[in-house]
Amino acid sequence: MSENNCLYCRKDRHLALTFARLLAPSDPPGFCSECQSKFAPIDPEMRCLGCGRDRRGLDPEFCRDGYCSDCLLWRQSPADKYFGHNEALFSYNDWMKEVFTAFKFHGDERLAEGFRAEWRAVYARSIGSSWRGRWENFLNNKQRAEPPLLLPIPVSTQRLEERGFNQSELLAAMLDGEVIPALLHDGQNRKQSKKRKLERMNMTDNPFRLNPNYAARLSGKRLLIIDDIYTTGATLRKAAAVLAAAEPECVDSLTLIHG
């Protein structure tokens, strides 16, 4: 099981011999082309401007001005005023479910490495530090914006003990930005993944707290919440509501999956 083997199915990846590979000290770990092809990447041109969902599979009558009906519903809620928008990398499908279960619930942290390149690319695009973003900045004669601060969604202590790792922290650590553990988890609530949609969207019990030591550092900054999956958007909005106390410039989010 070297880097030449797929992270998930462990078969040979059949990497082509290129000059870049020849000169690199080692290959980055990754998925084989067969496993990779089963993921459903989201087309950035066709995403919902609110939640980052892929609008290609959506009936046009559920969309308005590039927003999906769920986001339009959220807009009517008071919880939405603190939260900007989300971007996601993949749509949730059966294959992603399988890989994600292995990653999050069986605890195979290393699978996150397989998403590294794409994850970093979507981050660069979302903060405008990709080559294309820079070029556009140059043409419009704009200053490059300061990169946002990264805030991984925390998990309860009990769950951390159970799993041994926090998937959002792992994902945040793969990006270049500064990671700030300003969000704290109070513990004792049921998993979001064991609740129903309306239960999830109910915003009364907020498990998050703002770490007062970091509040000053957040004020006036752009914040980017990092999470593994956007399902209804309730978690991210709860976190954004907590962060609003520190008066940041804006709160957006980046997730690996939209599902």
The CB-of-228 to another protein minimum distance in angstroms stands at: 14
Indicate whether 173 belongs to the interface with another protein (CB under 8 A): yes
In this complex, which beta carbon is closest to another protein, that of residue 71 or of residue 149? 149
Indicate whether 1 belongs to the interface with another protein (CB under 8 A): yes
Indicate whether 11 belongs to the interface with another protein (CB under 8 A): no
Q: Which of 80, 109, 118, 249 binds another protein (CB under 8 A)?
A: 109
> Burial letters for 116-150: b for 16+ Cβ neighbours within 10 Å, e otherwise?
eebbeebbbebbebbeebeeeeeeeeeeeeebbbb
Residue 222: left if φ>0, alpha if ψ -120 to 50, beta else—which one?
beta
In this complex, which beta carbon is closest to another protein, that of residue 15 or of residue 46? 15
Tell me the residue ranges of DSSP E strands in 78-120. Answer: 86-91
Number of CB atoms found within 10 A of residue 226's CB: 26
Q: Which of 58, 73, 80, 108 binds another protein (CB under 8 A)?
A: 108
The CB-of-73 to another protein minimum distance in angstroms stands at: 34
Indicate whether 106 belongs to the interface with another protein (CB under 8 A): yes
In this complex, which beta carbon is closest to another protein, that of residue 116 or of residue 209? 116
Long-range contacts of 42-48 (CB under 8 A, 24+ apart): 42/88, 42/89, 42/90, 42/91, 42/258, 44/87, 44/122, 44/125, 47/87, 47/88
Indicate whether 170 belongs to the interface with another protein (CB under 8 A): yes
Contact predicate 52/199, CB 8 Å? no
Report the distance separating Cα 188 and Cα 186, nearest Å. Answer: 7
Longest CA span, the chain? 56
In this complex, which beta carbon is closest to another protein, that of residue 105 or of residue 138? 105
Indicate whether 175 belongs to the interface with another protein (CB under 8 A): no
In this complex, which beta carbon is closest to another protein, that of residue 2 or of residue 143? 2
Report the distance separating Cα 112 and Cα 160, nearest Å. Answer: 17
Q: Which of 86, 126, 166, 231 binds another protein (CB under 8 A)?
A: 166
Q: Which of 49, 58, 72, 102 binds another protein (CB under 8 A)?
A: 102
Report the distance separating Cα 189 and Cα 200, nearest Å. Answer: 12
In this complex, which beta carbon is closest to another protein, that of residue 151 or of residue 241? 151
> What separation, in Å, do the N-terminal and C-terminal C-alpha atoms of the chain show?
30
Q: Which of 169, 177, 244, 245 binds another protein (CB under 8 A)?
A: 169
- Token pair 């405008």 is found at 128
In this complex, which beta carbon is closest to another protein, that of residue 7 or of residue 122? 7
Indicate whether 14 belongs to the interface with another protein (CB under 8 A): no
The CB-of-39 to another protein minimum distance in angstroms stands at: 16
Residues that bind another protein (CB under 8 A): 1-2, 102, 106-110, 112, 162, 164-166, 169-170, 173
